[in-house]
Structure 1
Amino acid sequence: MPRTLVNSDLFPPIGPYSHAVKAGGQVFVAATPGVDPATGQLAGPDAYTQTRQTLKNIAAMLASADASLQDVVHMQVNLVDVADFAEMNRAYAEFFTEPYPARSVIGVAALPKPGAVLTINAIAVLGGS
């Protein structure tokens, strides 16, 4: 199946992967941390701030693929500390309304970006809104 790289000037990937790829009428966004593209640093130390920045980053990648957060059908949140669930949820609710995307929340031991408390993956369907 052909796949197309989604243009992302947010920040360089920290490994041999693409931030986002279009294939089969969908956009697949890799695990994204809350890095502020203006500074290249995490937007803040807490789950609320990092969730907000992560969702802004995902929205920017989706916009490059002619999609939006409203086209997202599934997200996976990877939390270093599940005690941050409520703060992540508080920020998440600022970006989505019903019907919400399906979502998985997974507790992880660590993330590759030092200081990151979470990452979020997303799958969007083009023309899905």
Structure 2
Amino acid sequence: MKSRVETLTPPNTPTPIGPYSHIAKVGEHISIGGTAGVDPTTGQLARDVAAQTRQILKSFIVMLDAAGSDLSHVTHINIFLLRMSDFETMNAAYVEIMGDRRPARTVIGVQELPKAGALLTMNLTAVTREG
């Protein structure tokens, strides 16, 4: 019997640092796991919180496309921020990529993150374009 859950890690996205896929999809529902601001071409973290924010969202664009979706179909984003003092800088970079799209969002301050040097990670839920 085939699982209803389809998992994938598309090319041109950062390599997962653990035993997981970036995307889990059931029907029209999409979940993308915690993603750091790693440039998939170099494998390196972007230099600061703004660049890491932009890189995460650019990776999300690639992942969502692979799952049949896009940023306009995101329902919720969780942001795990290492320093709340970076909140405004993260927001400015977030708006650069998200534009007028305003899905539900939660920002959580954390003590540390699994990826060494990461200043934030994000995950999201979305629906497919056909959903």
TM-score range, shorter chain: over 0.9
Partner of residue 39, structure 2? 36
Q: Closer, same or farther in 2 for the Cα pair 1:4/1:109, shift >3 Å?
A: same
The reply to whether residue 21 of structure 1 matches residue 52 of structure 2 is no
Return the TM-score normalized by structure 1. Answer: 0.92
Gaps of 5+ in 1: none
Amino acid of the residue matched to residue 34 of structure 2?
A: A
The aligned length equals 128
Query: What residue number does 2:121 align with?
Result: 119
Alignment of 1:43-58 (within 5 A): 43-44=46-47, 46-58=48-60
Contact 1:55–1:95 under 8 Å retained in 2:
yes
Pairwise CA RMSD: 1.6
Identical pairs, percent: 45
Q: Which runs of 4+ in 1 moved over 3 A?
A: none
Q: Which residue of structure 2 lines up, in the alignment, with residue 92 of structure 1?
A: 94
Aligned equivalents of 1:8, 1:99: Cα separation in 2: 24
1:67 equivalent in structure 2: 69
Unaligned runs of 5+ in 2: none
Q: Is residue 5–residue 20 contact of structure 1 (8 Å, CA) maintained in 2?
A: yes
> What is the aligned partner in structure 1 of residue 104 from structure 2?
102
Counterpart CA distance in 2 for 1:42 and 1:3 is 30
| In 1: Cα distance, 2:129 partner to 2:14 partner | 27
What TM-score results when the alignment is normalised by the length of structure 2? Answer: 0.91
